[in-house]
Amino acid sequence: MLPELNDLGQPVGSLVPNWSARPLPPKTPIEGRYCRIVPLDPELHAIDLHAANSEDKEGRMWSYIPLGPFKDCDEYAISMKRWLTIKEWCLYAIVDRTHGRPSGVALYMGLKPDAGSIEIGVMFSPLLQRTTAATEAMYLLMKRAFDELGYRRYEWKCDALNDASVKAAERLGFLFEGIFRQADVLKGRNRDTAWFSIIDRDWLRLKRAFESWLTRDNFDENGRQRKTLAQMREEHA
């Protein structure tokens, strides 16, 4: 489709009718079938989250992010309290209903309400990684951003060398947009940052795929998926 032209004959972006700045994310719970997403509270969550993170004996979950590892629970709780003072962050604990304890943190960050852009960040312990609850949490946070708050763009950024995070973004349906070279210095090392996004016109198809994947019928008696998320996206293309 050809771009629109302004009065000077220059190509310009399409109009965004009735646009207004989007609200900031609320610090309120989200209830799912496999997980609960609740506002992060160091007093309530630090001990369980630190214990869950400690299942990562080698500290692999901290290699590609500026935070951690933490020497003990007290240091972790102090850091959590500091996170909560960052105005650009809205933090949640992910509670897996299987065991009823928080086992991961997710945050909205990079908030640009005027542009309708929001970024997701995660710190998932080994107890939450690669679980149905983790996937549902990502779906619920996308749903809040697009359906409840009306954002237009949902971003995922990670170290370009973080293969697990790159694969997670692709599995969840994010589109790779490119690599920002020498974007940061992380723990004394260069970081090239890979950018991924989902935009509002992608969301309806992705939402149907997530909802189909999360149905009880998609899992056998041992909790194994019958169809992958990628297969569900193909069915809803």
Return d(Cα 101, Cα 236) in angstroms, integer. 34
- Between CA 71 and CA 212 the distance in angstroms is 41
Q: What is the pLDDT of residue 3?
A: 87
Encoded amino acid at 72, one letter = D
HSE-up (13 A, CA, CB side) for residue 11:
3
Give helix 42-53 / helix 73-83 axis angle, nearest 10°: 130
- The pLDDT, as a whole number, for residue 164 is 97
pLDDT at 36 over 80: yes
Q: How do residues 183-220 score in pLDDT, each as one tens digit?
A: 999 999 999 999 999 999 999 999 999 999 999 999 99
In a domain, 103, yes or no: yes
Q: How far apart are CA 120 and CA 118, in angstroms?
A: 7
**Amino acid (1-letter code) at residue 231:** Q
Q: What is the CA radius of gyration of the chain?
A: 19
Structural domain boundaries, residue 44: 24-195
Asked if residue 182 has pLDDT above 80, the reply is: yes
Q: Residue 77 has what pLDDT? A: 97
pTM for the predicted model, two decimal places:
0.96
59 assigned to some structural domain: yes
Q: Identify the CATH number of the domain in which residue 108 sits.
A: 3.40.630.30
* Residues 6+ positions from 13 with CB-CB distance below 8 Å: 3, 4
Q: What is the DSSP letter of 145?
A: I
Residue 52, in any domain of the structure: yes
Q: Is 205 domain-assigned?
A: no
Residue 237 lies in a domain: no
- Output the six-digit token pair for 153: 């763009």
Is residue 186 one of the residues assigned to a domain? yes
Question: What would the pLDDT profile of 11-25 be if each residue is shown by its tens digit?
Answer: 999 999 999 999 999
Q: Specify if 84 maps to a domain.
A: yes
Domain count, the chain: 1
Spatial distance between the Cα atoms of 142 and 207, rounded to a whole number of angstroms: 9
**Residue that the structure tokens 């369980």 belong to:** 48
For residue 134, is it within any domain? yes
